[in-house]
């Protein structure tokens, strides 16, 4: 655990990307198996120790630490593992050495009744920095500025493989990745199960000014649908539906799995569609995460897969081909049905033509347009240039701040989570929450306002004097019986602080109803 604790500490205090890569690469090359594999799993979010829940850790801390002290410390630090690691009392046992592998084995194999005692014993044996490393095994969220892609890039350094080769076989591998490390040294490739997930290609935002530098004849355009990005893969008798991160979600959408009559891998958008009408994202949310879907839900919320790219076709890898060629194959395919259709291309000759389409889409669930170079191969990650997303201008209302709560992670110690409301007659009705959209300087200004204008406290939440108006931008609006306002915003954020505007001039709830 000492080496893993040192790794986390060095990464946390090393700002540069190249320096982080060097630190990670050295760790992977010098740390024995299986410790390095479990460390890699934590860094990439692949270690599942869900039996160690946050509530269990809080309960153990409550047995050793004063409750008020723990609450205040947690509010300030903003990270559960770090708070417990720093507050845990008692002297560390001398000559105590716990490996990452031993800790994972104990957490994974210990029964529910004995688990609290095992965790307590390990915390007693470790130093504060080792406690933090140990607690990060089940809780994740290392907060050291390392993405999964960066960790895999470091893994490839000094080996016979590239990061793209690692990405290609990554899905389906399980910690501690022993076959992966053998392959990196020149051994045989790890066995990959049929119908695997392939790394997706992502787009970057674009502005009209940036688009003006490009020739519109070099690009295709299509609607940006308000669903979720998915990859559907069929190989042999295996049919799998993946989210954009590689999570298998086929159990939630059995009608899509049944309709996948092709052999290959396709890229598209998962939507709820009734006839020709695409439903809002809130309808799709009701299907997500379900292990079983009732017949009633299948009928009331029918899913559709809308395709826009073809990766693998009848055993042939089409990703190196230009988009035009992949699109031609997709258009001539014969597997379409009422469950799987093709995303249409938009007709345009100039960027002004496309701007007109973007400004007035035929359906409110359309978020904007996607713009893709005709000659672009399908590249994993987010390359700058081949694919752009040009989203619609957001909806905007002026709202009044009502409540605030302290943030976590980098925002620990600041009030950064805000509830805001609109006027309904003489009352302010909460309509949403926002956690971002403001700069670091604006965050400090908002934090000062919260501390000076608190009227009541409810645990970690502060009620505020209804004086500060903020401009709230959001991407969509849906009816919601679960909210007091009857409405739910999609991706709300604070786009501007209206220090100049009195609260009495904030918008009314009727404004949102008219938008809907």
CA-to-CA dists, residue 193 to 151, 197, 200, 244, angstroms? 23, 10, 18, 18
Chain mean position to CA 474: 18
Comparing CA positions, the residue from 363, 357, 369 lying closest to residue 280 is: 363
Catalytic residue list contains 2:
no
Write the CB contacts of 99 (distance below 8 Å, at least 6 apart in sequence).
1, 35
* 66 C-beta neighbours (distance < 10 Å), count: 11
Helix (H, G, I), strand (E, B) or coil at 230: strand
Instruction: Kindly tell me the sign of the dihedral angle through the C-alpha atoms of 216, 220, 221, 226.
Output: negative
In the numeric block, which tokens belong to residue 467?
């004086």
The strand pair at 303-313 and 340-342 is best described as parallel
Compute and round to an integer the Cα radius of gyration of the chain: 26
Q: State how far the Cα of 462 lies from the Cα of 402, in Å rounded to an integer.
A: 9
Instruction: Kindly tell me the sign of the dihedral angle through the C-alpha atoms of 21, 149, 194, 291.
Output: positive
Q: State how far the Cα of 490 lies from the Cα of 318, in Å rounded to an integer.
A: 35
Q: State how far the Cα of 225 lies from the Cα of 268, in Å rounded to an integer.
A: 10
CA-to-CA dists, residue 195 to 166, 183, 233, 240, 307, angstroms? 17, 21, 5, 7, 18
Q: State how far the Cα of 126 lies from the Cα of 454, in Å rounded to an integer.
A: 41
Q: State how far the Cα of 439 lies from the Cα of 414, in Å rounded to an integer.
A: 13
Helix (H, G, I), strand (E, B) or coil at 22: helix
| 240 DSSP β-pair partners | 233
Of the chain, the end-to-end C-alpha distance in Å amounts to: 54
Calculate ∠ Cα 408-411-415, nearest 5°.
90
Contact 268, 259 (CB under 8 A): no
Q: Which of 2, 224, 291, 391 is catalytic?
A: 224
CA-to-CA dists, residue 324 to 224, 377, 384, angstroms? 19, 9, 19
Which H/E stretch holds residue 317? strand 316-317
Write the DSSP assignment of 189-201 as a string of letters. Answer: PPP--SS---PPB
Active site residues: 224
């Amino acid at each position: 655990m000492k080496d893993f604790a040192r790794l986390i500490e060095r990464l946390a205090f090393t700002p540069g990307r190249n320096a982080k890569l060097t630190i990670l690469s050295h760790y992977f090359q010098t740390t024995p198996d299986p410790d390095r594999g479990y460390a890699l799993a934590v860094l990439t979010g692949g270690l599942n120790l869900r039996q160690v829940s946050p509530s269990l850790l809080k309960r153990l801390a409550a047995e050793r630490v004063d409750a008020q002290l723990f609450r205040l410390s947690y509010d300030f630090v903003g990270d559960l593992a770090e708070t417990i690691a720093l507050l845990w009392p008692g002297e560390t046992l001398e000559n105590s050495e716990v490996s990452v592998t031993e800790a994972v084995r104990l957490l994974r194999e210990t029964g529910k009744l004995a688990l609290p005692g095992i965790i307590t014993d390990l915390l007693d044996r470790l130093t504060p920095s080792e406690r933090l490393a140990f607690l990060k095994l089940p809780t994740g969220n290392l907060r050291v500025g390392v993405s999964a892609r960066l960790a895999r890039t470091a893994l490839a350094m000094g080996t016979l493989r590239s990061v793209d080769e690692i990405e290609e076989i990554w899905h389906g591998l399980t910690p501690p990745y022993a076959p992966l490390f053998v392959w990196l040294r020149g051994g045989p490739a790890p066995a990959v199960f049929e119908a695997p997930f392939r790394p997706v290609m992502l787009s970057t935002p674009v502005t009209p000014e940036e688009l003006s530098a490009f020739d519109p004849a070099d690009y295709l355009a299509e609607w940006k649908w308000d669903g979720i990005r998915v990859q559907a893969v069929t190989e042999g008798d295996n049919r799998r539906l993946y989210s954009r991160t590689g999570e298998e979600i086929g159990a939630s959408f059995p009608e899509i799995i049944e309709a996948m009559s092709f052999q290959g891998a396709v890229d598209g958008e998962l939507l709820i569609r009734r006839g020709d009408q695409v439903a809002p994202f809130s309808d799709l949310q009701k299907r997500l995460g379900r292990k079983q879907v009732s017949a009633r839900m299948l009928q009331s919320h029918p899913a559709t897969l809308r395709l826009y790219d073809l990766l693998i076709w009848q055993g042939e890898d089409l990703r190196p081909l230009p988009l035009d060629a992949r699109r031609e194959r997709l258009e001539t395919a014969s597997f379409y049905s009422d469950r799987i259709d093709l995303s249409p291309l938009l007709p345009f000759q100039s960027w002004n033509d496309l701007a007109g389409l973007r400004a007035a889409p035929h359906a409110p669930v359309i978020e904007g347009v996607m713009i893709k170079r005709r000659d672009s191969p399908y590249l994993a990650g987010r390359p700058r240039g081949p694919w752009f997303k040009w989203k619609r201008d957001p909806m905007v209302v002026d709202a009044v701040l009502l409540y605030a709560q302290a943030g976590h992670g980098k925002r620990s110690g600041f009030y950064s989570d805000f509830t805001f409301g609109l006027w309904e007659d003489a009352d302010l009705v909460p309509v949403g929450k926002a956690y971002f959209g403001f700069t670091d300087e604006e965050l400090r200004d908002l934090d000062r306002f919260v501390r000076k204008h608190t009227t009541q406290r409810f645990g970690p939440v502060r009620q505020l004097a209804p004086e500060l108006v903020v401009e709230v931008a959001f991407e969509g609006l849906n009816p919601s019986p679960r909210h007091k306002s009857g409405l739910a915003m999609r991706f709300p954020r604070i786009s501007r602080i209206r220090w100049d505007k009195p609260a009495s001039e904030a918008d009314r709830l009727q404004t949102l109803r008219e938008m809907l």
